[in-house]
Chain A
Amino acid sequence: GAVVSQHPSRVICKSGTSVKIECRSLDFQATTMFWYRQFPKKSLMLMATSNEGSKATYEQGVEKDKFLINHASLTLSTLTVTSAHPEDSSFYICSSSALAAEQYFGPGTRLTVT
């Protein structure tokens, strides 16, 4: 399967600060990248869909000004959590897709906001 990396794998930040998470598609050019959030023992919740060079499409209930997504190239997408609060603490996972619905996921980033 395709390889997708995420950085950092874990991050702890103070309330009010911003955190950037990178998602890279290492061995293929991803036409579309997705960002998910996963709470403990819960399934994945889609936050937004991004296509290279265009604005991200956010799911209902996801604040686009809080979760800034940039998809600068076919291999890199970034998620910035702005003015983070403890309730933003979660496991954030990205995925990349080159063909239809086949998505390959990154290893995830665990964010803890203190």
Chain B
Amino acid sequence: QKEVEQDPGPLSVPEGAIVSLNCTYSNSAFQYFMWYRQYSRKGPELLMYTYSSGNKEDGRFTAQVDKSSKYISLFIRDSQPSDSATYLCAMSANDYKLSFGAGTTVTVRA
């Protein structure tokens, strides 16, 4: 079993729809949770960073962490074609080493 599970998709939605992404994990020591966006042949870009459980909102992006269920989510509201990318969840314990999900490929159709 992988430490971090993420459905690779692909996920295709019409412009303006809500994109819902999630990851599950098995390591209860994880305290830091992140979502990255990666365009093809580029480095990952940090979208959201959360410590421990709770919700965090930044513009059209909302990240949720439920440590009791070992489940994290990212929601993208009013999706745009420019949101088409691969989204990676990542998490770490106090050693700050990131464990990544497989990444979900998202396409927003104009």
- Given A43-B102, A101-B98, A108-B41, also A1-B32 (CB < 8 A): no
Q: Which residue of B lies closest to A43 (CB)?
A: B100
CB of A100 to closest CB in B, whole Å? 6
Say whether B45 contacts A105, CB under 8 Å.
yes
Q: Per-residue 0/1 for A96-114: is the Cβ within 8 Å of any B Cβ (1 yes, 0 no)?
A: 0100111111111010000
The total of chain B residues at the interface (CB under 8 A) is 21
The total of chain A residues at the interface (CB under 8 A) is 23
Bound CA–CA A102/B32 (angstroms): 8
Decide if B61 is an interface residue (CB 8 Å cutoff): no
Say whether B98 contacts A103, CB under 8 Å.
yes
A1-52 at interface with B (beta carbon < 8 Å):
1, 4, 6, 32, 34, 42-44, 46, 49
Partner of B102, one of A1, A6, A42, A93: A42
**Which DSSP category, helix, strand, loop or mixed, fits chain A's interface?**
strand
CB of A86 to closest CB in B, whole Å? 20
Partner of A101, one of B41, B92, B101: B92
Contacting residues, chain A, for B34 (C-beta < 8 A)? 101-103
Partner of B44, one of A6, A93, A110: A93
Bound CA–CA A2/B32 (angstroms): 18
Bound CA–CA A102/B102 (angstroms): 19
Residues of B within 8 A of A (CB): 31-32, 34, 36, 41-46, 49, 51, 88, 92, 96-98, 100-103
Name 10 extra pairs, CB < 8 A, besides A44-B100, A100-B32, A101-B98.
A1-B46, A43-B100, A43-B102, A46-B98, A93-B44, A100-B51, A105-B44, A105-B46, A108-B42, A110-B41
